[in-house]
């Protein structure tokens, strides 16, 4: 079983880079949910393509999809270190918590090699224009998320299971909340 080693510098770099790209693309849907999925897909597809996660974060199953266990602490440290601010933005009757990097010039090569950057850029392009709810729905198709119980860690190896819908029997066994 793959045991990732968490790299806080790469994790922070990925948060900054994703937030920077969202600002470049003027993505009106880039809030906490979409950030979680950007981190998840970048790490899991990085594992599938490179044989290792990009940040080494550990992901858990939450109702809105996978989320890194380290996010809350690292995001708070980034606010304290004045690397980011969190801007409340009203959207669709909700308040979105958007991360805004303090520096508009993020150089991804400060954090990632070219292969890692390729995975990240592909992830960001794939979900560009999607709402947080739409990206969350896509993450719910991942069998690793579907087969985990709420709060459980999603093993990286489950990325090889893909996103094929589970059988009706497995769906029934998981219950209507997916576990």
Tens of pLDDT along 11-27? Answer: 999 999 999 999 988 99
Average pLDDT rounded to a whole number, residues 81-96: 91
Instruction: Give kind and range of the element (H or E) at residue 60.
Output: strand 59-62
Tens of pLDDT along 27-38? Answer: 999 999 999 999
For residue 105, what pLDDT is reported? 76
Tens of pLDDT along 99-158? Answer: 999 987 788 889 999 999 999 999 999 999 899 999 999 999 999 999 999 999 999 999
Residue 179 has pLDDT above 50, yes or no: no
Instruction: Report the percentage of the chain scoring pLDDT > 70.
Output: 90
pLDDT band at 171 (very low <50, low <70, confident <90, very high): low
Radius of gyration of the chain (CA): 16
- Rounded Cα–Cα distance for residues 176 and 98 (Å): 31
Q: Which residue, 6, 41, 24, 7, is CA-closest to 101?
A: 24
Three-class SS of residue 22? Answer: helix
pTM of the model: 0.89
Sequence-distant (6+) residues with CB within 8 A of 57 are: 4, 6, 11, 39, 43, 68, 69, 70, 71
């Amino acid at each position: 079983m793959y045991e990732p080693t968490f790299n806080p510098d790469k994790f922070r770099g990925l948060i900054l880079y994703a937030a920077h790209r969202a600002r470049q693309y003027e993505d009106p849907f880039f809030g906490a949910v979409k950030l979680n999925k950007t981190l998840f897909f970048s790490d899991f597809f990085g594992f599938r393509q490179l044989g290792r996660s990009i940040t080494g974060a550990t992901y858990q199953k939450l109702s809105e999809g996978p989320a890194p266990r380290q996010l809350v602490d690292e995001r708070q440290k980034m606010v304290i270190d004045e690397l980011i601010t969190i801007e409340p933005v009203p959207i669709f009757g909700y308040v979105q918590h958007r991360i805004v990097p303090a520096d508009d010039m993020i150089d991804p090569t400060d954090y990632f090699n070219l292969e890692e950057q390729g995975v990240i850029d592909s992830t960001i392009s794939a979900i560009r224009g999607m709402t947080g709810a739409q990206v969350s729905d896509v993450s719910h198709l991942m069998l690793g998320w579907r087969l985990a119980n709420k709060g459980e860690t999603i093993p990286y190896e489950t990325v090889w299971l893909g996103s094929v819908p589970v059988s009706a029997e497995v769906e029934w066994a998981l219950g209507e909340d997916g576990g």
